[in-house]
Amino acid sequence: MKKILIFSLICLIALISTGCFGDSPPKKDFNYEIPNGTKIIDNETIPKKIKKSITSITIPDSVTEIGEYAFYDCKYAKTINIPKSVKTIGEYAFYKCKSLEQISIPNGITKIEKYTFSHCDALNDMNIPNSVTKIGDFAFENCNSLTDVIIPESLTEIEEGAFAHCYALTRINLPKKLTKIKAYTFCSCSSLTNIVIPEGINEIGKYAFDCAELKTLNLPKSLKIIDNYAFCYCDSLTSIEIPNGVTKIGDFAFSNLNKVTKVTIPESVTEIGEYAFNGNLKVETIKIPDSVNKIGKDAFFVVKHIEYHGTAEGAPWGAKSMN
């Protein structure tokens, strides 16, 4: 038995010494300087064996492009200064730079590519320059310390999941040129209490907002479609006023909103999906306009009372009473 314990202890020491249980932050600061004259930084510019020893990175003015995965897993780099000469930043460029606290994107960059800053856990604020017109899929996903994002009016498109799981995000402005809030854009932004959705937005995608602290919701008159799970689990909302012009409310769109006491559905709505208002326990009555001709299974499950005189089949769709 003693021999087994000694052998196990030796194996454990060997595993720790070879880094099988992860790595530790570098004990000394180490600034890595990209050689002057370099034009493109790619995923081989910095040797992989030293990436986890770097605490800061200096980029010369000769660089015009930061390529895909260029700084991937430089997990202890706290500062990276991007010169104005850089015009392109590739996908995953700063992916898992977990210690990166601040970074300035130079004016001239037109697109923040997908996953560019994903899992930059320490990044706490972001000022996006006026030259940017598009933010790619999951570009800032899991930036857990990001509290404030300033987006320019030049922006016309935010792709899926761009700010998903930014748990500390409390404030963000949406530019007027946007026409759609895509799927998962603000999913699990649990500190977001208020957001202004501008006129011009015509569709809110699935799981766009899963924001437990969202207290106020003002939907624009331009809105046409509210997709599946769009506001599911926004537990702090107390009222829902759907603007006239909306035609479709998707499955689970306003499901499990335990504090909501008032729901207003306009006559423009023709379709309400399954479990759309499921679990809205405090609502006394929901009036459904006769324009609605399709209502999904248990759309009003456990709602106390609904009023409806239209032609949709399947009444009362889970409601406790109806007239």
3-state secondary structure 57-89: EECCCCCCEECCCCCCCCCCCCEEECCCCCCEE
Fold of the domain built from segment(s) 29-100: 3.80.10
| C-alpha span between 321 and 258 (Å, rounded) | 19
Length of the chain, in residues: 323
Place of tokens 């606290």: 101
What pLDDT, on the 0 to 100 scale, is given for residue 26?
Answer: 86
What pLDDT, on the 0 to 100 scale, is given for residue 11?
Answer: 41
How far from 123 is each of 87, 126, 198, 250, 274, CA to CA, in Å? Answer: 22, 8, 27, 34, 39
Bridge partners, residue 246, by sequence: 244
What pLDDT, on the 0 to 100 scale, is given for residue 247?
Answer: 98
Q: What confidence tens digit (pLDDT) does each residue in 195-209 have?
A: 889 999 999 999 999
Measured distance between the N- and C-terminal CA atoms of the chain, rounded to whole angstroms: 76
| C-alpha span between 284 and 56 (Å, rounded) | 58
Strand ranges for 275-315 from DSSP E: 286-287, 294-295, 306-307
Choose among 260, 262, 250: nearest CA to 223: 250
Task: Report whether 178 contacts 199 (CB < 8 A).
Answer: no
- Record the pTM: 0.88
What pLDDT, on the 0 to 100 scale, is given for residue 23?
Answer: 65
DSSP alpha helix (H) spans, the chain: 2-17
Task: Report whether 178 contacts 154 (CB < 8 A).
Answer: no
How far from 296 is each of 120, 138, 205, 292, 313, CA to CA, in Å? Answer: 41, 31, 18, 11, 9
What pLDDT, on the 0 to 100 scale, is given for residue 169?
Answer: 95
Choose among 231, 238, 242, 201: nearest CA to 216: 238
What pLDDT, on the 0 to 100 scale, is given for residue 209?
Answer: 95
Task: Provide DSSP, 101-150.
Answer: -B--PPBTB-EE-TTTTTT-TT--EEE--TT--EE-TTTTTT-TT--EEE
Task: Report whether 312 contacts 298 (CB < 8 A).
Answer: no
Consecutive sets of 10 residues in the chain, 323 residues long: mean pLDDT of each?
A: 44 39 76 97 95 95 98 94 96 97 93 97 92 97 94 95 96 93 96 93 96 93 98 93 97 94 96 95 93 97 94 94 92
Domain ranges of the chain: 29-100, 256-269+276-323
| C-alpha span between 204 and 206 (Å, rounded) | 7
